[in-house]
Structure 1
């Protein structure tokens, strides 16, 4: 592992896993975790896992909105899938009582019932 930190606190790190990994961080130094991996790599892998789980959950029930404009597709995706998955994940981590589809139906019903 090779790492260098400048006076502003930006760390550049090169680490060899299966291949060379280059990392740039303003919150980590060159410290290592328990398994010998740099802490920045361990934190990145943990955050990436949550993103992968969120994307996987969103793909189970795609929102069918057909439009030729990319920015509208992105808007509807962020509005429906990403926000629902993120809110369900927060709910599930605390309550663990509903599956994603049940949660989605509850949100839709509560939005329709609101006055």
Structure 2
């Protein structure tokens, strides 16, 4: 990775590029680092006006693409961050199961297939209750 050490103000970008690779550091609320082979250092207007200067705000294409296409991933990460069920446990298979439950986003599948709008926490408790009901005798017989 190239050295991108300069301190940036909000909205500023520092980048280095070669023929096929663009490495950049962009400052919004926090510093964002990106590495891309799909973009170059071209800048475009965002359609928003800077209230201080009155000019159109401009950003690199890779930042605009990230903002346009990664919203669902960020939303998913945000939803699971507060209800992450993978905790420290000795049983590795419990971690795998609970992590897969989060990753496959069964909550979203449930809502889209049934039309029932329930919170993620309520959904997870229902799944846990159903698993315990079905396998209760097998779990406690060992």
Q: CA deviation at 1:32?
A: 4.1
2:35 — aligned with what? 24
Using structure 2 for the length normalisation, give the TM-score: 0.45
Q: Which structure has more strand as a fraction of its residues?
A: 2
Does the CA-based 8 Å contact 1:54-1:82 persist in structure 2? no
Q: CA separation of 1:41/1:77 partners in 2, compared to 1, >3 Å: closer, same or farther?
A: farther
Q: Which structure has more helix as a fraction of its residues?
A: 1
Q: CA deviation at 1:12?
A: 0.7
Q: CA separation of 1:32/1:54 partners in 2, compared to 1, >3 Å: closer, same or farther?
A: farther
Using structure 1 for the length normalisation, give the TM-score: 0.52
Distance 1:39 1:29 in 2: 8
Q: Which has the higher contact order (CA 8 A, sep 6+)?
A: 1
Matching residue within 53, 61, 85 for 2:79: 53
Distance 2:15 2:31 in 1: 13
Q: CA deviation at 1:14?
A: 2.1
Summarize deviations over 1:38-62 as a string: whole Å, max 9, x none: 3434526623233212444xx18x4
Distance 2:60 2:94 in 1: 38
What stretches of structure 1 of length at least 5 have no aligned partner?
none
Task: Give the secondary structure class of the aligned counterpart of 1:23.
Answer: strand
Distance 2:32 2:89 in 1: 38
CA RMSD for the aligned pairs? 3.8
Higher-Rg structure is: 2
